[in-house]
Structure 1
């Protein structure tokens, strides 16, 4: 009997999501209004993915917003919004063993926005647009690992490469959609989220 790599990969995804969510929760440090806004963004992204995922296939105007959330609010908010997007939307699109890996990928999208902000403090929406385009391919490559481990045999580089090539056109469509949506809406989205971030960043000063 062969090793059930699909089960192991799926379980690894579940445990990874659980550990990341636990780590993010313990280091949150967000006030109530920020949590409310982040939850609203997660619901908005999930709704956008669920609706456009049916009508527009891979052209989903939500991945760039997850990226911008991390860019503006930081890694914790970016990961939370990203991870919740597929979890919630898959109740309409279809839950399955692929969901934990989708949560990891979308969460990493949000965290990468925060990483760009930290590494390049003067970066703007053009940098985010390029990163969103790249994520169109990275997302497909990471999800191919799950599909490769579950449905493909033998597990070797050649079989993974052939699977990646088979999905390259879909990845290109996703990358092009990310590019177009972020180029069109990225600048204004950053301004809007920065405005709300500034308004909700409440700090209390002790009397001297």
Structure 2
């Protein structure tokens, strides 16, 4: 389509997609106070880690593995919301822009992928999550390249997308290596800690006995 503002279209698609997903997951089942508190605390931790490292170590961030493990332990809804809120909050320090909805979508899907692993492979452990984190380093870059390609590249062909992806391959590799390193080093202990708090959340107090 000649003259089409694909950057605007892709930004609107990102906003609509993240809005529909957040609305659908929120309405599926009401959050209780404990779930909201967990989402707030974990999203704040992830956003802080991304904001602190985002300036100097943009591609080595100790946060993506935490979003994935959150989904693995708490399920897809909590994982998605923690992931989606991470770039939204941290970009107040790193810089908000039309890329934010797509970042929210990608990070939310990281949390959902952790929950998916738990459903498909109940016996999976940190090694499986570390491998998934590694691949997310590349997948995140590939998805974000779609937004950048549609906004800044002309013509919009597979060749121009491929050239853009190749140009960012080294950065994606750094992100993938960082994800693998952080998950391998901290993942097992993080799973234990989050499972402990998950059990605490599931405690039901019986009254009037």
- Asked if Structure 1 and Structure 2 have the same fold, meaning a TM-score greater than 0.5 normalized by the shorter chain, the answer is yes
For residues 206 and 36 of structure 1, the distance between their equivalents in structure 2, rounded to whole angstroms, comes to 23
Which position in structure 2 is the counterpart of 1:157? 158
CA displacement at 1:56 relative to structure 2:
1.7
Deviating more after overlay: 171-180 vs 53-62:
53-62
CA displacement at 1:28 relative to structure 2:
3.6
What root-mean-square deviation, in Å, do the aligned CA atoms of Structure 1 and Structure 2 show?
1.5
For residues 88 and 183 of structure 1, the distance between their equivalents in structure 2, rounded to whole angstroms, comes to 26
Which position in structure 2 is the counterpart of 1:190? 191
Q: TM-score, normalised by structure 2?
A: 0.96
Task: Give structure 1 stretches of 5+ with no counterpart.
Answer: none
Runs of 4+ in 1 over 4 A off after TM superposition: 204-207
CA displacement at 1:45 relative to structure 2:
0.3
For residues 56 and 3 of structure 1, the distance between their equivalents in structure 2, rounded to whole angstroms, comes to 35
Is the Cα–Cα contact under 8 Å of residues 78 and 111 in structure 1 kept in the other structure? yes
For residues 203 and 115 of structure 1, the distance between their equivalents in structure 2, rounded to whole angstroms, comes to 26
Task: Give structure 2 stretches of 5+ with no counterpart.
Answer: none
Q: TM-score, normalised by structure 1?
A: 0.96
Which position in structure 2 is the counterpart of 1:128? 129
Which position in structure 1 is the counterpart of 2:26? 25
Which position in structure 1 is the counterpart of 2:55? 54
Which position in structure 2 is the counterpart of 1:12? 13
Which position in structure 2 is the counterpart of 1:199? 200
CA displacement at 1:204 relative to structure 2:
6.1
CA displacement at 1:206 relative to structure 2:
9.3
CA displacement at 1:201 relative to structure 2:
1.2
CA displacement at 1:30 relative to structure 2:
3.5
- CA change 1:131–1:172 in 2 (3 A) is same
